[in-house]
Amino acid sequence: MAKTMATTKRGSRFRFIGNIYAELRKVTWPTRPETIRLTLIVLAVVLVIGGFLFAVDYGFTHLVRSVFLRGG
């Protein structure tokens, strides 16, 4: 009984890996130009949001310094 259980588990692992490969074959992968364009969009959005957060943080830092530390 134990051999059957181990064999079944091993078989299910290989079946699982086979299913993964089958699903990956169904995926529609982006073309190189699409990948480059989307990467540039992500980088631009990250830079814009990063700049905005930097400006807000910088402003709050100066506000807190001027209110609580008397301009120090």
Chain centroid, CA 1 distance in Å: 44
Domain boundaries, the chain: 2-68
Of 68 and 60, the one with more pLDDT: 60
- Per residue in 20-58, pLDDT (tens digit) is 999 999 999 999 999 999 999 999 999 999 999 999 999
Three-state DSSP at 26 gives helix
User: Residue 11: its pLDDT value, please?
Assistant: 74
| Mean pLDDT on 7-19 | 79
User: Residue 7: its pLDDT value, please?
Assistant: 54
User: Residue 58: its pLDDT value, please?
Assistant: 97
**How far is it, in rounded angstroms, from Cα 50 to Cα 43?**
10
pLDDT band at 9 (very low <50, low <70, confident <90, very high): low
**How far is it, in rounded angstroms, from Cα 13 to Cα 28?**
25
